[in-house]
Amino acid sequence: MRKDKMENFEILPTEENLIKTLEADLLGRNQQLSYFYNLLLAQKGASTIAVDGKWGSGKTFFIKQSTMVINAKNPVSIIEKEKREKILSKLFLTESDNYDDCNLAIYYDAWENDNDTDPIVSLVYEIAKQLGMTYTFDPDTDFLNWAVQF
């Protein structure tokens, strides 16, 4: 008896998949990533940029790839040099020598932290984690003063 089942073609946004799809331009989005990166660089002040699309259209994947590209461009990010070069070469970018032009992107999943009673705690924790900092939060810590130190 043959059992038919649907195949799952979802590509999860793991670091490996983000790099693999970038290298092979599997989703045909490398040009869009490059445009988006340059759009972000062109912002002169605080800005809000919305990425809109239907459920399952790849918004999370695109934003995580964009985050990876921004961080790969920064020589002080925690991305290994070999990975950094792979990422940047596919978008015809190079590591920046000018630290004034460098940015660090932090990916924060608001849905994942939706039940937090104090959202600033999860936000600061996520920033610290993605910057490679280790810190255990004490419930009595003044998080804003702690975060300002960095």
- The number of angstroms, rounded, from the C-alpha of 4 to the middle of its chain's C-alpha atoms is 37
Separation CA 134–CA 136 (nearest Å): 7
Condensed to tens digits (0 to 9), the pLDDT of residues 33-85 reads 999 988 988 888 888 888 999 998 889 999 999 999 999 988 878 888 889 88
Percentage of the chain exceeding pLDDT 70 = 79
Averaged pLDDT of the chain: 81
Cβ–Cβ under 8 Å, residues 95 and 88: yes
In this prediction, residues 10-18 reach a mean pLDDT of 88
Looking at residue 143, its pLDDT comes to 59
Q: CB neighbours of 27 closer than 8 A, spacing ≥ 6? A: 21, 58, 61
pTM of the model: 0.76
